[in-house]
């Protein structure tokens, strides 16, 4: 196989949702059947191995391609697909395949995979980081509504995780729902009152809501807690002054 030759598995992924591939007659469906009888921990280990092995194979393929040589190490399916076929609850696979599904124009399929992350046990390794990456992906795609829905589901499942409150606050602010954004950021501050990032975020949501005195107090609190090189609240304080001078806000 030439390094840049089309792969049937990759073409199948482009044409067919993952949920269909793992239920039909594809190699992915066979992989899922083969692993269905394993204990959850064994499935996770197998998925983890496949996930990282595929990433290594893709790197080898790229290196061989640059040198003009052929490589038989390239995976038949895109990274993450085999891992998620092995274990339907493998968090990195849900993130990877969900992102691919979205980019292929199947947002409903993507959101179903992303939302499955919020049903996993709280002790799954790096779960909050992975859910936040899914939310950031949607934000980067300018899909604030779906990002808000995901962060909201995560917050409902894990209300002690400030990351999800911050995500909700950001999305609500971007959607112009400033008072709701303030309340979401207050939740994050209530959980971590000495977190200068949360204090600055709350201050900015108050600024956008036109509540300048409260915003100023939060920015000053952020500055008092932050390292000297953290500049955002200092710039935001200047914005408070500008808005006061222009008569914007209260």
- The predicted pLDDT at position 74 comes to 44
13-29 pLDDT, tens digit each: 888 999 999 998 788 99
Candidates 3.40.50.300, 3.40.50.1820, 1.20.1250.20, 1.25.40.10; CATH matching 161-250: 1.25.40.10
Render pLDDT for 147-178 as a digit per residue (tens, 0 to 9): 999 999 999 999 999 999 999 999 999 999 99
pLDDT category of residue 53 using cuts at 50, 70 and 90: confident
Q: Which long-range contacts link 202-209 to residues 24+ away (Cβ below 8 Å)?
A: 202/169, 203/233, 203/236, 204/173, 204/236, 205/169, 205/173, 205/178, 205/181, 206/182, 207/236, 207/239, 207/240, 207/243, 207/249, 208/173, 208/178, 208/181, 209/178, 209/179, 209/181, 209/182
> Mind listing the pLDDT tens digit for each residue in 217-233?
999 999 999 999 999 99
Query: What pTM does this model have?
Result: 0.87
Say how many Å lie between the first and final Cα of the chain, rounded.
67
Confidence bin at 11 (pLDDT 50/70/90):
confident
Domain ranges of the chain: 161-250
């Amino acid at each position: 196989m030439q390094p840049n030759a089309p792969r049937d598995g990759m073409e199948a992924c482009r044409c067919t949702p993952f949920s269909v591939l793992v239920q039909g007659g594809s190699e992915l469906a066979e992989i899922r059947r083969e692993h269905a009888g394993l204990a959850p921990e064994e499935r996770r280990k197998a998925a983890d191995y496949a996930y990282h092995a595929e990433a290594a194979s893709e790197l080898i393929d790229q290196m061989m391609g640059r040198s003009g040589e052929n490589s038989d190490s390239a995976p038949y399916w895109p990274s993450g697909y085999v891992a998620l076929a092995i274990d339907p609850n493998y968090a990195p696979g849900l993130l990877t395949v969900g992102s691919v599904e979205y980019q292929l124009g199947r947002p409903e399929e993507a959101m179903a995979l992303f939302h499955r992350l919020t049903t996993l046990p709280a002790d799954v390794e790096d779960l909050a980081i992975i859910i936040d990456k899914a939310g950031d992906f949607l934000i980067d795609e300018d899909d604030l509504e779906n990002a808000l829905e995901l962060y909201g589901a995560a917050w409902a499942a894990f209300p002690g995780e400030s990351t999800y409150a911050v995500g909700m606050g950001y999305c609500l602010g971007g959607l112009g729902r400033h008072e709701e954004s303030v309340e979401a950021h207050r939740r994050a501050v209530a959980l971590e009152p000495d977190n200068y990032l949360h204090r600055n975020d709350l201050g900015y949501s108050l600024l956008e809501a036109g509540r300048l005195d409260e915003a100023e107090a939060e920015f000053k609190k952020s500055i008092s807690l932050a390292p000297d090189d953290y500049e955002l609240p200092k710039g935001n304080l200047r914005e408070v002054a500008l808005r006061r001078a222009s008569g914007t806000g209260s």
